[in-house]
Amino acid sequence: MKSREIDLGRAKPFAPDHPLAALWRLKWRILAGLLVVVPAALLALRWAVGPEVVVYPVRSGDLVRSVVASGHVETPYRVEIGSQITGTVSQVLVAEGEVVRQGQPLVLLDAGELQAALVQAEGAVAQAEARLRQIREVTRPSAEESLKQARATLANAQSSYDRAEQLARNGAGTRASLDAATRDLDVARTQVRTAELAVFTLSPGGSDAVMAETQLVQARATLDTARARLAYATIVAPRDGVLITRMVEKGAVVQPGRALLVLAPSGEVQLVVDIDEKNLALLSLGQQALVSADAYPDSRFSAVLTYINPGVDISRASVQVKLTAHDPPAYLRQDMTVSVDIQVDRRASTIIAPARAVHDAGKEAPWALVVRDGRARMQPLRLGLRAGAQVEILDGLKPGDLVVPAASGVRAGQRIRATPS
């Protein structure tokens, strides 16, 4: 069988008397007409029902204006821990980053010499106490007995002197007997005065008693000093906190005035943030803020603005502010990076619209396109607080209205097919 080529342009699939033969002859004209009519119909349909446009609803709620910045965690102050005595480190009990409690031992110093000094001071106290007890129990009672004996001797000497004087006055006694009686009386009186003085010095307030009591006080003070110096051999945490720096190792010789450890105390945490100076007028002390650490973005905590630096950093055009977190989360670490959202203004239960739907927002007559009866209608507005991507509507819109984004290209009066976002 011989093959043949078929020219579709010249092919005649229908007989001349076939009903479709006329249409087949006009096929190219019909095709050209369809290419013109179909797009026109589509354009007409689009004009009739309008383009599909994503619109945004106006709502009622709280509007918060905030200043957002980043900073870092910093304790309000740091405590440098050092030794109060010169000594050799025998043991370091903590490491950097460790949480410590007040009174917890941190560093131990060699305490052999201090222990010996304590024993010596305890011996001195025992000796001074024994000396004072000896005065009270032995020496003073003995002096009081000697005073009694001296007074008895004085009484006898006085009687002898009186008899000798009477005999001499009557001429029965000799001058020598009177002189002897006088001498014995003077000796007895001297012995009584000496015994009285001994009792007085040994009594409370007397010189010997005061000296013994002073020696006891001095010995006890020396003992307290020895105990304190021995206690200094154990360096303890002055308060609760986290050790952020350790600068001492076993075997090191430490001296007073040298920092061995640095402690970040527990409690309030300070956040240091640099704010763009253009936002300075919006800030005031006491403003609330929400904070999140970059390492824990899903967890937020509150803070209060407590310090605004009076100077401006000219190199960065920024102002340093500090916020205080009274109840910080446990995961915060020194120098951790944080993001801070400071609430500088707030409107409660107000009408809110997206800022992208407002035309001429910075001019005297702002307006928006509102969907009404399937068309975009121009609506003058009166604006209030502006906060990021939202704006407060004081007049012109109500909750539930649908507004057209300014960048949609829709004109006032144009029919549209609104699609809520």
Region 181-197: mean pLDDT is: 88
Q: What is the tens place of the pLDDT at every residue in 135-167?
A: 888 888 888 888 899 889 889 888 888 888 888
Residue 302 structure tokens? 């509150």
Last residue of a domain, one of 218, 245, 260: 260
Do both 299 and 280 map to the same domain? Answer: yes
Please say if the pLDDT value at position 407 is more than 50: yes
Do both 278 and 238 map to the same domain? Answer: no
Do both 149 and 201 map to the same domain? Answer: yes
Do both 359 and 389 map to the same domain? Answer: yes
Number of domains in the chain: 4
CA distance 283 to 302: 17
Do both 410 and 271 map to the same domain? Answer: no
Establish if 7 belongs to a structural domain: no
Do both 244 and 286 map to the same domain? Answer: no
Establish if 30 belongs to a structural domain: no
CA dihedral 189, 194, 198, 204 (to 10 degrees): 60
The parent domain of residue 57 ranges over: 53-61+348-420
pTM for this structure? 0.53
Q: What is the tens place of the pLDDT at every residue in 67-119?
A: 899 999 987 778 899 999 999 999 999 998 888 999 999 999 999 999 999 99
Last residue of a domain, one of 330, 346, 362: 346
Domain containing residue 372: CATH number: 2.40.420.20
Do both 190 and 146 map to the same domain? Answer: yes
CA distance 238 to 39: 85
Last residue of a domain, one of 346, 368, 403: 346
Q: What backbone phi and psi angles, to 5 degrees, belong to 39? A: -60, -40
